[in-house]
Amino acid sequence: QVQLVESGGGVVQAGGSLRLSCAASGRTFSLHAMGWFRQAPGNERDFVAAITYNGGNTDYADSVKGRFTISRDNAKNTVYLQMNSLKPEDTAVYYCASPPRPFFWGRLSSTYYYWGQGTQVTVSS
């Protein structure tokens, strides 16, 4: 059974940084892309960043490009989201996700099948 467990959320002042982690288990991590999404109250779940199975390609939402960095450590079955220069509008629950099949990846939430429980990020002004 595939499990994704996020950690690293919290409260930070605007301009600060946080690093989110997502530990995966239950299948061969190194064959699957990973993505990060976020959902603020009253909003839909939005794409944040994605990384291919081997880390060779990454993609970012325009709103976070240049501030956030997605990375992965296949030896640790973990994907990270380094968030710098945080803004109040980054406040949301952040979810990691993984597609059902090897080598799939993309920006659409429908591409992803497995989801973590989410971790809250709150940025105060």
Q: What digits encode the pLDDT tens for the residues 32-45?
A: 999 999 999 999 99
Q: Name the pLDDT band for 117 (thresholds 50, 70, 90).
A: very high
Report the distance separating Cα 52 and Cα 93, nearest Å.
22
* CB-based contacts of 18, cutoff 8 Å, min separation 6: 8, 9, 10, 12, 83, 86, 121
Share of the chain above pLDDT 70, in %: 100
Q: Is residue 22 predicted with pLDDT exceeding 90?
A: yes
Phi/psi of residue 58, each to 5°?
Answer: -135, 160
* 95 within 8 A of 21, measured Cβ to Cβ: no
The confidence score (pLDDT) of residue 108 equals 95
